[in-house]
Amino acid sequence: MNLTEEEVKSRLARDIATKQFIDEQFAKHVEVSDKEIKDYYESNPDAFKAPEQVRASHILIKVEPQADEAKKAESRKKLEMIQQRVKKGEDFAALAREFSEGPSSTKGGDLGYFRRGQMVKPFEDAAFGLKPGEVSDIVETRFGYHLIKVVDKKPETTIGYEEVKERIEAFLKQRKTQNQINLYVENLKKDAKVEIFLGEEGK
């Protein structure tokens, strides 16, 4: 930002002073009742839904975007060989550790839980279309070719009130504090004498 050390210190001092002022004048006096928290929770059900999640592992054979058809065919053939070994009952995690070219290979291809929107769409569509224990056909993405095994699925659920109560309280307190600050600033404007001086360009 091209600031000098003194300018940085000045900004930090101003920010700290502003926060202390807000805390003393507004935040410490704001209270949020249990009823307000409960009412907010019940009035905003969509805000407290945990989306469907899937836990999956994969075996990736990379293909560079600029790869020619021969290279793509070679990579796909390699994964087809691995796919046959999976179908014969070999351990998916062991094969992932041996062959996968993704960073998850050291964990047996385990990607953990993820929700929709976190993976590229072809991968996501395949994973969410499988049942736990099922392995996909070969899936192509911009990263290369994948075999995907779904380990577990979690359906969409509603997060319990007690689990989010403190978060709602903090949010409502912050909102009330901001409302009070806005009102305070408006009152300052009403009571202030404002003069505007225009230079030559502003005439």
pLDDT in tens, 70-93: 999 999 999 999 999 999 999 999
Q: Residue 200 and residue 202: Cα distance in Å, rounded?
A: 5
CA-nearest of 110, 101, 107, 63 to 82 is: 101
Place of tokens 């975007």: 65
203 compared with 25, residue with greater pLDDT: 25
Instruction: Supply the pLDDT for residue 199.
Output: 65
Separation CA 111–CA 60 (nearest Å) = 12
User: Which pLDDT value is given to residue 186?
Assistant: 85
Boundaries of every domain in the chain: 12-47+159-191, 52-155
pLDDT at 125: 97
Mean pLDDT of the chain: 91
The pLDDT of residue 191 is 79
Range 98-116 average pLDDT: 96
Task: Give residue 200's pLDDT band: very low, low, confident or very high (50, 70, 90).
Answer: low
pTM: 0.65
Domain 52-155 of CATH type 3.10.50.40: yes
Q: Residue 56: exposed, middle, or buried by beta-carbon count in 10 A (0-12, 13-18, 19+)?
A: buried
Dist CA 4 CA 6 (whole Å): 5
Position 61 scores a pLDDT of: 97
DSSP state of 116: T
C-alpha atoms less than 13 angstroms from C-alpha of 113 in its C-beta half-sphere: 8
